[in-house]
């Protein structure tokens, strides 16, 4: 990963480009257009408003907070020229670990009978730590082997499945998680934790978004472009942060669902990548903004919530969502060709 620190005087073309509107505005326009479309379709087919329904919008935000948190880390990896197909498995692993350690004392079916009745800080810290360690392992393997493909195929060669296998396959009961809703000595009520995590996701975007606006990051394959930068160290740091955010997403899901299952998070990694691509991040690496990724995650949430609102069959929802993702990838390839020709 190299940093462009050129101090050459800006040309007229650069000055002209500097006056252009941020690229996120076009994505934001698409998001607003989709909301207005569902609003019109709602009055035509359902006889209700899609936008003027605070409960529906709240549910949409809570659901997409989990994907948005993962997408922040995934975006940094994609900009670096890599990919992460194991974040969904990390969510499942951390959700089970946090849920298992959150069981109340004296629960008959406790997974860890000697570790019940812990302060809520410990389950949360354990989940975050496990996510961070998983990301550290990912980044270390890629940095040491210098083989990004090792992690591109993680879901198929056993890394993702292995993480899920580290925890019990049986789901945990709801009863032990009363502390999350504040029934016991809880850290925060469940309907607040996802919202705060969503705000954390947005605030977490602030620093990378500012950096991506003023710094050009080269993909992994350009590791020899600047020998003064320790590429491997930065690569490990990025994957570690992504793992930490996946762990946070698992904790948010546990708090929202009041239970934990090893199967949680299946497909989350693909939704996170889709959010990044829809938000303007190039799968070729080197191009992307965190603000665009956040908007992309909201667009996915609007699609899911809107189709559910219109009672569209889940299978058709997946088809339409896939078409949107394909359109985003095609648009990315078109932008790449324009940049090369320029």
Query: Is the predicted pLDDT of residue 239 greater than 90, yes or no?
Result: yes
Determine the average pLDDT of the residues in 186-215. Answer: 40
> pTM of the entire structure?
0.74
Q: What is the mean pLDDT of residues 77-91?
A: 90
Which of 3.10.450, 1.10.1760, 3.40.50, 1.10.3470 would CATH assign to domain 24-341? 1.10.3470
- 139-155: average pLDDT: 67
Q: How does DSSP classify residue 184?
A: S
pLDDT of amino acid 10: 45
Residue 264 near residue 250 (C-beta atoms within 8 A) = yes
Q: Do 75 and 217 contact (CB within 8 A), yes or no?
A: no
pLDDT-derived band at 199, boundaries 50, 70, 90: very low
Matching residue, tokens 């004296």: 106
Tokens of 19: 């006056």
**Is residue 16 scored above 60 in pLDDT?**
no
Do residues 256 and 167 make contact, with C-beta atoms less than 8 angstroms apart? no
Do 86 and 269 meet the contact criterion of CB atoms below 8 Å apart?
Answer: yes
Distance between CA atoms of 139 and 177, rounded to whole angstroms? Answer: 33
Displacement of CA 247 from its chain's centroid (Å): 11
pLDDT, tens digit, for every residue of 287-325? 888 999 999 999 999 999 999 999 999 899 889 888 888
Does position 201 have pLDDT exceeding 60, yes or no? Answer: no
Residue 275 pLDDT exceeds 90: yes
Residue 130 confidence (pLDDT) above 90: yes
**195: pLDDT strictly greater than 80:** no
pLDDT band, very low/low/confident/very high, at 172 (cuts 50, 70, 90):
low
Spans of all domains in the chain: 24-341
User: What is the residue-averaged pLDDT of the chain?
Assistant: 75
In this predicted structure, what is the pLDDT of residue 265? 86
Residue 45, pLDDT score: 92
Calpha distance 31→25 (Å, rounded): 10
C-alpha distances in Å from residue 20, one per residue of 15, 172, 323: 9, 52, 29
């Amino acid at each position: 990963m190299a940093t462009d620190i050129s101090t050459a005087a800006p040309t007229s073309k650069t000055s002209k480009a500097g006056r252009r509107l941020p690229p996120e505005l076009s994505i934001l326009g698409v998001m607003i257009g989709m909301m207005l479309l569902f609003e019109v379709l709602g009055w035509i087919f359902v006889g209700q408003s899609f936008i003027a329904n605070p409960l529906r919008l709240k549910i949409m935000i809570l659901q997409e907070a989990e994907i948005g948190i993962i997408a922040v880390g995934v975006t940094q990896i994609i900009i670096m020229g890599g990919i992460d197909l194991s974040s969904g498995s990390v969510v499942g692993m951390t959700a089970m670990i946090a849920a298992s350690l959150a069981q109340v004392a004296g629960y008959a079916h406790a997974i860890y009978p000697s570790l019940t009745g812990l302060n809520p800080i410990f389950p949360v810290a354990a989940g975050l730590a496990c996510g961070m360690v998983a990301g550290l392992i990912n980044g270390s393997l890629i940095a040491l082997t210098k083989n990004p493909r090792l992690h591109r195929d993680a879901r198929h060669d056993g890394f993702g499945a292995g993480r899920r296998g580290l925890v019990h396959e049986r789901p945990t009961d709801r009863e032990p998680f009363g502390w999350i809703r504040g029934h016991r000595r809880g850290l925060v009520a469940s309907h607040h934790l996802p919202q705060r995590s969503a705000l954390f996701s947005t605030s977490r975007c602030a620093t990378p978004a500012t950096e991506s606006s003023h710094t050009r990051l080269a993909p992994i394959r350009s590791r020899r472009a600047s020998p003064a930068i320790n590429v491997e160290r930065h690569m490990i740091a990025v994957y570690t942060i992504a793992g930490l955010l996946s762990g946070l997403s698992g904790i948010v899901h546990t708090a929202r669902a009041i239970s934990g299952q090893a199967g949680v998070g299946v497909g989350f990694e693909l939704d996170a990548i889709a959010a990044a691509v829809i938000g303007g991040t190039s799968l070729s690496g080197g191009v992307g903004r965190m603000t665009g990724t956040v908007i992309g995650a909201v667009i996915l949430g609007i699609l899911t919530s809107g189709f559910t609102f219109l009672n569209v069959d889940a299978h058709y929802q997946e088809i339409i969502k896939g078409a949107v993702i394909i359109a985003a990838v095609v648009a990315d390839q078109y932008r790449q060709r324009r940049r090369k020709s320029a």
